[in-house]
Structure 1
Amino acid sequence: MTDAFWRKTLGITFRSLSVRNFRLFAAGQVASVTGTWMMVVAQDWLVLDLTGDSGTALATVTALQFTPMLLFTLYGGRLADRYDKRTLLIGANAVSGLLALLLAVLVLGGTARLWQLYVFALGLGLVNAFEVPARMAFVSELVGTQLLPNASALSAAYFNVARVLGPALAGLLISGTGTGPVMLLNAASYLATVVALCRMRPAELLRGAPPTERARVIDGLTHLRSRPDLLMPLGLVAVIGLFGLNFQLTLPLIAKTVFHADAAAFGLLTSAFAAGSLLAAFAGTARRGRPPARAVTGSALAFGVLETAAGWAPGFRSALVLLALTGFASLYFAQAANHRIQLGSDPQYRGRVLAIYTLILQGSVPIGALFVGLLTEHLGARSGLYVGGLISLAAALAAAGAGRIGGGRDDSAPATPRPAAGRRP
């Protein structure tokens, strides 16, 4: 292949990075998300150490971290549609950094207790309920509608770069220095996002016209009810998020109780899953428009099959391979569903629609974590994967069947965005 081919390919893959504000955003997020994934490994390992490998305690931490999504994400989406998203993100990341610092001090001082981990998880979840919808909707302000699929795919790519690096680094650090320094690095990583947001040029943000009336949560729900093409991917996200996407719980349990691995090997399992997700993110950078419904259902089918197979992996190496493939399918599905929903919704409701998407995807985690925690207590760690995979497969088959009964047509074309105030030529 010629140099011209590679230059063209790289130009297509990374075209959103030509926007200065998005470059700053991506750089800050890489540092912050790497710290977050290091923290996930350290937190889970500490919980297991404090409780004698209790799946129920680990499920409780996960549930507490995601329960605020159920309660406050819709309100967070309302704020994202009403107020300046950049300001909201600066405040949310500053608070998250402070919470992480307080926990790091407790762990380094040797005084951390399980209830304190519960409190930290709940506090971080509360902040995320407001940060996530604002961050997802903010991407369109950074790059505009035409570059949104590429920017969204690159966001997933750097998220999964961090997801590969974070657990691997955390595993090595925990083995050498314990969980405290890892948590301290996570606290410092939030500063990168705050600095990047502060250095942006607000005049270059592609903001829409200010809302002419009060943004209400009910209006976003009404918009969705009139859009069957948005309801199908949301339904699949609900089922798969509830039963299939519980890897934060299942992977540490499988590492410790099935393969009897140390922290470094646990980091490898998590990194294998993330590496597959990273490849899916780069595959998504070529997308230029709204994906069809069959891309959503097809990737959901593949995910169900692969997660089921990963649950029956006979050895550590086969688990690494199957988890990498499962990671690819999970991210490809989540991204296809996200793009179909985001690019199909009216821009004036986008923050609230994405809040509903976030509520369904992440707010289902507490219920799913408790279900999987109880399941693994009675049927073993592997059941968290193969039961989740089978349920996800059944949901994808049902969605595909419903699409054929409905004639397999698109119910609505992508929404046409309103002209943005101050849009640069």
Structure 2
Amino acid sequence: MTIPAPAPKFAVLRSWKTAPYLVGAGLAMMGDNIEHVITYLVLWNTFHSPILVGFQLVSHWLPYLLLSVYAGALAQRFDCRRIIQGAQILFMFVSLCWGILFLTGTLQLWQACVLLVLHGLAGCLWGPAEQMMLYDFAGREQLPSAVRINATFRSLGVLFGPVVGSVLLLTLGTTWGIFANIVFYLPLTLFLARTKFTGHSREGVYQTGRVSLWQSFRVLGTVRKDHVIMGMLILAALASVSIGAVLQTAMPVFGNELTPAGADGELVYGALLFALGIGGVVGGFFLEASGWIPPTVRTAVISSITFGAFAMLFAFTGSLVVALIALVLTGFSQITATSTGQAIVQLEAPAAERGRVLGAYSMFGPGMQTFSGVTIGALGTLVGIPITVVIGGAVLVAGALLTALYIRGSARRAEV
């Protein structure tokens, strides 16, 4: 594959056509996480249902698994601005419904399940169109930079969303806090009403004909023939199934085990979550500022290996200091692997298939996190949570090495 020449550092943030889009996406991701903080607390206090907790995870990621490719086909055919605005409006509608149900005290289990599914559908619809817009804004030359900065801003949203959500809970309460959350989706929605970019402006390539769910999945036959794209999809799937959301979900367990005698367990738990989040944020800005790590297949493979290795170190250690350092490096490796894989898929995808290929990446990446709940539930019961993380890290390391051999072997066969 041909890697574009390095663009000026932080060029996409110095552009008034791109910077508001990236900031708006980060704020929207913060709103997404604020909603989780508030609604998950209310749902537990209202229903005390472990099954509902599992459904929260499944409803968030299952739409990515089943519908991402179709969402990519929609992004390939229609104006991506309107698709993203539709997703943001759906997010706002869900927050509004939560607020009304909280205010009136009429929340029922079936209503909660419907809103959780709608929230997951909004995220699924947003993903491929968001990436199409990045290509349109930045062009091929600045695309790796745009993908890195976008991933970093989304990591900022994930990192500070729980903090802001907690502040809203303390100051406004659950009802008015969820109403206030609607504001975080507005900047991106309003900016897209003004920008001229559509996700197709540079190449003007739209998918023609009827978009059906079955036709959308035909792209998997296309990407199967491209060893680089297929390798990135495999790496994304491995990371999601083996580790995925397991670290965040299981962090209370590690917080209890790593809390020194006499220390505040909640403070340790918060520090562990913050270390993982700040690793992704610092990693994204470092990648952009240094320019030392190019967006290559080698980078994607090595960062996937270190992602698994540092997760294993975190699970093995009994030292809080080592655990915090390992989590920072885990977050750094994760954002490197994710942003590199995303950029490579964008650069390699044919223009006429880019939307559906990006949808396939969302299916193999975020979508496969649906199974991380099965991973932690089944293995965690059998061997314990720490050993489960160790096994997941080992699977990712071994899988990344095998993927590297697959890509290299396929490239050699193509040359013959």
Same fold (TM over 0.5): yes
- Deviation string 1:218-239 (CA, Å, 9 cap, x unpaired) is 5522331221121112112112
Across the aligned residues of Structure 1 and Structure 2, the Cα RMSD in angstroms comes to 3.2
CA distance in 2, matches of 1:75, 1:204: 16
> Is structure 2 residue 53 aligned with structure 1 residue 58?
yes
What does residue 98 of structure 1 align with?
A: 93
What does residue 277 of structure 2 align with?
A: 274
1:265 to 1:192, Cα distance in 2 relative to 1, 3 A? farther
What does residue 200 of structure 1 align with?
A: 195
| More displaced 10-residue stretch of structure 1: 242-251 or 127-136 | 242-251
Tell me, yes or no, if the aligned pair for 1:63 and 1:370 is still in contact at 8 Å: no
1:374 to 1:342, Cα distance in 2 relative to 1, 3 A? same
What does residue 418 of structure 1 align with?
A: none
CA distance in 2, matches of 1:267, 1:181: 25
Cα distance, 1:371 vs structure 2? 2.7
1:307 to 1:258, Cα distance in 2 relative to 1, 3 A? same
| 1:135-154 matched pairs, under 5 angstroms | 135-154=130-149
1:316 to 1:45, Cα distance in 2 relative to 1, 3 A? farther
Selected match of 1:333 from 317, 333, 337? 337
Q: Aligned to 1:211, what secondary structure does the other structure show?
A: coil
What does residue 185 of structure 2 align with?
A: 190
| 1:46-195 matched pairs, under 5 angstroms | 46-49=42-45, 54=50, 57-107=52-102, 111-112=106-107, 115-174=110-169, 179-195=174-190
1:141 to 1:403, Cα distance in 2 relative to 1, 3 A? closer
Q: Aligned to 1:146, what secondary structure does the other structure show?
A: helix
CA distance in 2, matches of 1:257, 1:103: 35
Tell me, yes or no, if the aligned pair for 2:81 and 2:198 is still in contact at 8 Å: no
Tell me, yes or no, if the aligned pair for 1:58 and 1:249 is still in contact at 8 Å: no
Cα distance, 1:102 vs structure 2? 1.3
Q: Aligned to 1:291, what secondary structure does the other structure show?
A: coil
> Is structure 2 residue 26 aligned with structure 1 residue 30?
yes
- Deviation string 1:122-156 (CA, Å, 9 cap, x unpaired) is 11112222221111111111221111111111111
What does residue 40 of structure 1 align with?
A: 36
CA distance in 1, matches of 2:267, 2:175: 16
CA distance in 2, matches of 1:316, 1:23: 38
Cα distance, 1:52 vs structure 2? 5.7
Cα distance, 1:401 vs structure 2? 4.1
> Is structure 2 residue 230 aligned with structure 1 residue 231?
yes
> Is structure 2 residue 296 aligned with structure 1 residue 298?
no
Cα distance, 1:175 vs structure 2? 5.8
Report the residue type matching 1:358 in the other structure. Answer: S
What does residue 221 of structure 1 align with?
A: 220
CA distance in 2, matches of 1:127, 1:328: 27
Unaligned segments of structure 1, at least 5 residues: 1-10, 413-425
CA distance in 1, matches of 2:67, 2:198: 30
| More displaced 10-residue stretch of structure 1: 209-218 or 257-266 | 257-266
What does residue 250 of structure 1 align with?
A: 250
Report the residue type matching 1:19 in the other structure. Answer: S
Selected match of 1:314 from 313, 318, 333? 318
What does residue 393 of structure 1 align with?
A: 397
What does residue 369 of structure 1 align with?
A: 373
Tell me, yes or no, if the aligned pair for 2:137 and 2:197 is still in contact at 8 Å: no
Q: Aligned to 2:195, what secondary structure does the other structure show?
A: coil
CA distance in 1, matches of 2:253, 2:38: 14
Paired-residue identity, %: 23
Cα distance, 1:209 vs structure 2? 2.3
1:280 to 1:93, Cα distance in 2 relative to 1, 3 A? same
What does residue 3 of structure 2 align with?
A: none
CA distance in 2, matches of 1:358, 1:204: 17
The alignment's TM-score, normalised by the length of structure 2, stands at 0.84
| More displaced 10-residue stretch of structure 1: 320-329 or 198-207 | 198-207
Tell me, yes or no, if the aligned pair for 1:172 and 1:264 is still in contact at 8 Å: no
Cα distance, 1:101 vs structure 2? 1.9
What does residue 423 of structure 1 align with?
A: none
What does residue 417 of structure 1 align with?
A: none
1:113 to 1:265, Cα distance in 2 relative to 1, 3 A? farther
CA distance in 2, matches of 1:204, 1:34: 23
CA distance in 2, matches of 1:302, 1:202: 37
Selected match of 1:20 from 16, 22, 26? 16
Cα distance, 1:284 vs structure 2? 3.2
> Is structure 2 residue 362 aligned with structure 1 residue 358?
yes
CA distance in 1, matches of 2:175, 2:268: 19
- Deviation string 1:261-310 (CA, Å, 9 cap, x unpaired) is 77776444333211101122123326599733221111111011111122
Cα distance, 1:26 vs structure 2? 1.6
Cα distance, 1:39 vs structure 2? 2.6
Unaligned segments of structure 2, at least 5 residues: 1-6
- Deviation string 1:22-66 (CA, Å, 9 cap, x unpaired) is 122122122212222223333444455556694x54332111111
1:218 to 1:204, Cα distance in 2 relative to 1, 3 A? closer
| More displaced 10-residue stretch of structure 1: 390-399 or 334-343 | 390-399
1:15 to 1:361, Cα distance in 2 relative to 1, 3 A? same
Tell me, yes or no, if the aligned pair for 2:231 and 2:406 is still in contact at 8 Å: no
Cα distance, 1:13 vs structure 2? 2.6
CA distance in 2, matches of 1:281, 1:172: 26
Tell me, yes or no, if the aligned pair for 1:64 and 1:121 is still in contact at 8 Å: yes
Report the residue type matching 2:345 in the other structure. Answer: I
Cα distance, 1:255 vs structure 2? 4.5
CA distance in 2, matches of 1:373, 1:315: 25
Cα distance, 1:212 vs structure 2? 6.9
Cα distance, 1:190 vs structure 2? 1.2
CA distance in 1, matches of 2:386, 2:372: 15
Tell me, yes or no, if the aligned pair for 2:243 and 2:393 is still in contact at 8 Å: yes
